[in-house]
Amino acid sequence: MGNSAAINWLLEGEPWVKYITRTILLDQPKESYKILVEEIIKNPQIQKIIKELKQWPGKPLSNHKSASQYFHKLSLLADFGLTKANKDIDEICQKVMGNVSDQDLFLINTNVPVHYGGTGKDELAWSLCDAPLILYSLLKFGYRNETIIKGVKYIMSLIRDNGWPCKVSENLGKFRGPGRKDDPCPFATLASLKMLTQLDEYKNSKEAMIGVETLLKLWANSRTLHPYMFYMGTDFRKLKAPLFWYEILNVVNVLSEFDYARKDRRLLEMLDVIKYKANSEGKYISESVYREFSDFDFGQKKIPSRWLTLNVLEIIKKFDSKK
């Protein structure tokens, strides 16, 4: 890859930055850097997250966008390169897989107020804003069992000709997001596609192609199409990490996993928006942050972030290496 100065800078960073830079960005063997995995696990910031996730399912879901949600933090540990080989990760994931719905989806603690169509009580439930992301994390950690694959296939079965809908488990009552029921839910579609990035056998499926086209169409018509009040405006275009929500870096990262999407003019336009934000040294600064991660470099808006820069360079690599 180009920009050797930026890469050298990454290699001076936190253990998760070093590990992903070496094993993903530079394609070096993971076996050579087991010591970095140990450093990741022992890091106080990571231990804090691990300790919290061992309380799974924890407090009831407040809102899916919140970075404090356990299922988001679970995906962050997976993106940092941790796997089921670590006893802490396995302990957490065994708890995650301990509560399963009739649809083979893993449940989280949820409370939907009565005025939103729910019961107003704490209950284990799932929605398409969380279930696919839990499956994504489990697959990335290295789990693949019959229940997980059945859950993936169930989510795939929910696809419509315009993407994935707003869908929740029956025990949540009539709850639905603020949109027309025939519209696709952009975030449910993004989450479901993110799940499929971990399964090569489904990347060329009809369901994946519909989902990819849904998000690209929303980009092309971003001024007029805002299903379920998901916009692709100014806030959407701000660089932000971790890759949790419906934002440009997360969307492009997911879509760039699909070969046919990387050739699409609309996705290339989105990539150009991202690349334009590099500073003179080829580094990237967070334009929006989660307060939950204020003690991480991607939780600052005044200095370049190694993790954010690494996320961007990983995306660029996918376009450069598979043209």
Domain ranges of the chain: 1-42+233-323, 83-221
Given a contact cutoff of 8 angstroms between Cβ atoms, the answer to whether 50 and 93 are in contact is no
DSSP assignment of 142-165: T---HHHHHHHHHHHHT-BTTB--
What SS3 string covers 165-212?
A: CCCECHHHCCCCCCCCCCCCCHHHHHHHHHHHCCCHHHCCCHHHHHHH
Mean pLDDT score, 298-309: 97
Say yes or no to pLDDT of 323 above 60: no
**Hey, what amino acid is at 304?**
P
Percent of the chain scoring above 70 in pLDDT = 96
Note the pLDDT of residue 186.
Answer: 97
Condensed to tens digits (0 to 9), the pLDDT of residues 151-186 reads 999 999 999 999 999 999 888 777 777 778 899 999
What are the backbone angles phi and psi of residue 104, rounded to the nearest 5°?
Answer: 65, 35
Say yes or no to pLDDT of 244 above 90: yes
The chain-wide mean pLDDT, for the chain, equals 94
pTM of the model: 0.96
Condensed to tens digits (0 to 9), the pLDDT of residues 95-144 reads 999 999 999 999 999 877 776 666 777 889 999 999 999 999 999 999 99
Note the pLDDT of residue 3.
Answer: 74
Tokens 């972030």 locate to 305
Q: What is the C-alpha to C-alpha distance for residues 17 and 11, in angstroms, rounded to an integer? A: 7
Condensed to tens digits (0 to 9), the pLDDT of residues 273-285 reads 999 999 999 999 9
Condensed to tens digits (0 to 9), the pLDDT of residues 208-242 reads 999 999 999 999 999 999 998 999 999 999 999 99
Say yes or no to pLDDT of 62 above 70: no
